[in-house]
Structure 1
């Protein structure tokens, strides 16, 4: 149960670090809708999102690296049943000694709603800016 919006994001960061799919998905509503900037245009529902997250965590597991997600510069606007959060998330690969060896920063927007008394992400949009010069993504 996530009684505060920030509880969802603390869980998000912990679940990424632990590569725990079920813990990660606990912060999402069953009917979640996502616009992703990696691989697939969108994901509809927790089942599609679970497949993508499982592939992500399993892919990193094969590389033998750890993960870190850090939410930065988040701006939270909320009322009793609806919250809007935007900012950036830095995802980093961590070596066996705990040192960061690669990273990427995505922009994000989350819409959260109270679902059965707990905050859950119902919509997520991640993006990277695109260069007008060469049409390639600009990685932060």
Structure 2
């Protein structure tokens, strides 16, 4: 896998609720800084459970993932990428029922079978009121 492939595979994995394909994008020792619940995951079994629970909780809904402003930098066996990521929950009738936009930064390492995520950080800026996520970029 090339770094560029991450974005398409992630989108397809979310849409098809394929937890295995999504988890395979990450190295077993990946460090994840997430916005929800624990906020920090370094145990591979916790990351697998989080992804499996998220995709399994969707019921009839699907998740459309869109990446914007993707920037990729790589040198040798190390790379990183940044982007805005929009998650939209789509009803069985095809309507957007909710959505959320985050920032994402990814650290990659190149292994024999290609690039894998070794570090992920998601975030959203908060307005000065301390309550409102502001990401209308």
What is the TM-score of this pair, normalised by structure 2? Answer: 0.92
**Equivalent residue for 1:77?**
73
Q: Cα offset for 1:137?
A: 4.2
Q: Which runs of 4+ in 1 moved over 3 A?
A: none
CA contact (8 A) 1:25 1:46 kept: no
Q: Cα offset for 1:136?
A: 1.5
CA contact (8 A) 2:127 2:134 kept: no
Aligned CA RMSD, in angstroms, stands at 1.3
Find out whether 1:68 has 2:64 as its counterpart.
yes
> Which runs of 5 or more structure 1 residues have no equivalent in the other structure?
none
Q: Cα offset for 1:83?
A: 1.0
Find out whether 1:27 has 2:25 as its counterpart.
yes
Q: Cα offset for 1:8?
A: 1.7
**Equivalent residue for 1:112?**
108
CA contact (8 A) 2:126 2:134 kept: no
> Which runs of 5 or more structure 2 residues have no equivalent in the other structure?
none
Q: Cα offset for 1:139?
A: 5.1
Q: Could you report, residue by residue, the CA deviation over 1:4-42 in whole angstroms, capped at 9, with x for unpaired residues?
A: 111122111110001111010110000000000011120
CA contact (8 A) 1:75 1:87 kept: yes
What is the TM-score of this pair, normalised by structure 1? Answer: 0.90
Distance 2:134 2:51 in 1: 21
- Structure with greater proportional helix content: 1
Identify the match of residue 56 of structure 2 among 44, 55, 58: 58
**Equivalent residue for 1:38?**
36
Q: What is the aligned residue count?
A: 135
Q: Could you report, residue by residue, the CA deviation over 1:50-100 in whole angstroms, capped at 9, with x for unpaired residues?
A: 011111112112xx2111111111111111211110111100101123232
Distance 2:96 2:55 in 1: 17
**Equivalent residue for 1:9?**
7
CA contact (8 A) 2:33 2:121 kept: yes
